[in-house]
A = this chain, B = another copy of it.
Amino acid sequence: MTPYTLTLQGYWRSSASWRVRVALHLKGLDYRYEAVHLVRDGGEHLKDPYLQLNPMGQVPLLRVSGGDLPAGEERLLTQSVAIMDLLDHVAPSPLMFPREPWARARVLQLTEVINSGIQPLQNLSVLRRVGELGGDREAWAAEFIGRGLAALERLCAADASPFLAGDAPTAADACLAPQLYNARRYGLDVGRFPRLRAVEERCAALDAFERARPERQPDAAP
């Protein structure tokens, strides 16, 4: 089998792109990074050629060839949760989603609290519409992030494991770091979430999380 060739199309500050970078670095996978600028010129994600690849107009997108794919074939995959799950096939160690069904259910639950319960409500296109309605974008983002993280804190408070769901970082931890970054960006006091903060610190000490940070990406703006 030839090695996999991986290209990540993403944006430095996109939290969903960030999650996938964490997974790639945790697994030690080499990948090419192609920036899709979400702000410049009204957003490269909202026009061709990118929009042809992902009609949802969102990042990230992972392009995969080699490995167990037929020669010459490239697969395109969007949605960070689907990408992280596929990466468990490309490189099973460490797993982003444990194989044991009950541990897996827990990781997927916590991942979705952020992936579907928080992040979509504070992404750029939603905040733009809130602004058009005369709403305060920062207050909107802070409200939904604050509510979601408070629930996540309660869901995890009784669990003393080093990471969100066990002894090793999973997809849930890959989602947590960017969501706390966004929480601060919108002025939330994250001191309200001691369990989440402790996990975040443990993640931050890992090289994979450090390398995935927005500031470390080639398209990072000052």
Give A contacts to B, CB under 8 Å: 54-58, 69, 75, 77-79, 81-83, 85-86, 89, 101-102, 104-105, 108-109, 111-113, 115-117, 119-121, 126, 129-130, 133-135, 140, 143, 148, 150-151, 154-155
**Which residues of B lie under 8 Å from residue A104 when comparing CB positions?**
85-86
Q: Is the CB of B79 within 8 A of A113?
A: yes
Q: Is the CB of B56 within 8 A of A81?
A: no
Q: Would you list the 9 A-B pairs with minimal beta carbon distance, nearest first?
A: A89-B101, A82-B108, A79-B112, A55-B151, A116-B116, A55-B154, A82-B109, A86-B105, A133-B135
Number of copies of this kind of chain in the complex = 2
Known: A54-B151, A77-B105, A120-B120. 7 other contacts (CB 8 A): A55-B155, A79-B108, A82-B108, A86-B105, A116-B120, A121-B121, A134-B134
Q: Is the CB of A85 within 8 A of B108?
A: yes
**Which residues of B lie under 8 Å from residue A120 when comparing CB positions?**
116-117, 120-121
Q: Is the CB of B113 within 8 A of A116?
A: no
